[in-house]
Structure 1
Amino acid sequence: AIALKYLKNTQMAEDAVQHVFVKLWESTSDIHIEINLKNYLYTMTKNYILNQIRDRKDEISLNYINAQIDIPGQEDVIKAMDDKQMRNLLYQGVESLPPQKKEICLRKLETTDSNQQIAEKMGISINTVKSHYQESIKMLRLYFDQIKI
C-alpha cells in the first residue's frame, strides 16, 4: 500500500515490493529483527522508494524539460485562446451597458484617446467621461461576477 501511495503506479509499486522482499530474503542470515516484521518491511519499502525517487529525480526533471521543448508555443496558444475568450466576454459585457457608457468604454478599449479627447468627440464634459467610465467598470465587474469570472 505504501509503495502504491508514493509511486502512483501499480507496476512500479510491485517492483518496489518485490525488490524489498528479495533484499530481505538475501540478508535473512545477517539481519536480526527485534521489532515487528511488518514495521521493518514498511521502513525498508519506504526507504527503497525514497531512494528510487531521489535517483530518478534527475531523469524525471529531464523528461519534464524535454516534454516542454517538444511542444513549442503550447503556452502561447493557450494564452492566446484565453485572451481571446476574455476579450469576447469583455465585449459582451460592454454591449450590455447603457449607450453612453458603452460608447465611452469602446473608445477607451479601441483607441488611445484621452478622457479629454473622448469628451470633445462626444460633446460632453471630461467629468462625465470619467464618471461614466468608473460606473461602467463597476457594472462590468458585476457582469463578470454574475457569469462567474
Structure 2
Amino acid sequence: MVCNTDDIANKQWVRGLRNQSHEVFEEIFKTFYADLYKFAYAYLMNENLAEDVVQDVFVAVWTSAESMPWDTNLKNYLYSSVKHGCLDYLKHLQVIDNNKEKLTEALIFSGTVEYEDNQELLEKVKLCLQELPEQQRKVLELKVFKGLNYREISQELSISEESVHTHVKRAYRYLRDSLPVIYIFILKYL
C-alpha cells in the first residue's frame, strides 16, 4: 500500500490531536479554516453565521480530540461537520419560520383570541386581505380557510408548489407588517 503525503499529514494531525497538541491544532486550523469558511458561507450566505459554524466545528474537534479514531480522515471529517452544522442551522431557521407562520395563522384567523377591540382587529385583517394581490389572497384563503396543503392548492390553482409557498410567505409577511400588534405578539412568544 502506497501512502501519499496527505495520508501522512492526516495521520500526524490525528496523532497530534489525540495528544492535545496545541501546535498541531493551530496547523490544522490554519490549513482548513479559510476553505471551511467559504464552504459554510455557500450554505448560509452570511459571514457571521459561517464563522460561527466553522468555529463551533473546531471547538468540537478540540474537545473530542482525545477520543478521535485513529483512522479519521480529518479533511472529510471537518467538511462533513461543517456541512451538518450548516444544515442544522438551516433546519432550525425553517422550524422558527414554520412556527411563526402557524402562530400568525392561528392569531389572525382564530375566533378564540381575545383582544380589547376584536371587531376593529378583524376589520383591519379583512382590509389587509383585500389589499393582497389576487393570487396571494386566493392562496392564503385556500390554505387558511379551507385548510388545503401546498400540493392541493397548487393543483386547484394550476401553479407550482413553489409558487404556492412563495405566495404564502409574501402574504404572511405583508400581514405581519400591516398588523404590528400581532407581529409584536408573535415575536414575544417565539
Shorter-chain TM-score above 0.5:
no
The TM-score normalised by the length of structure 2 is: 0.34
Which protein, 1 or 2, shows the higher relative CO under an 8 Å CA cutoff with sep ≥ 6?
2
Structure exhibiting the larger radius of gyration computed from Cα positions: 1
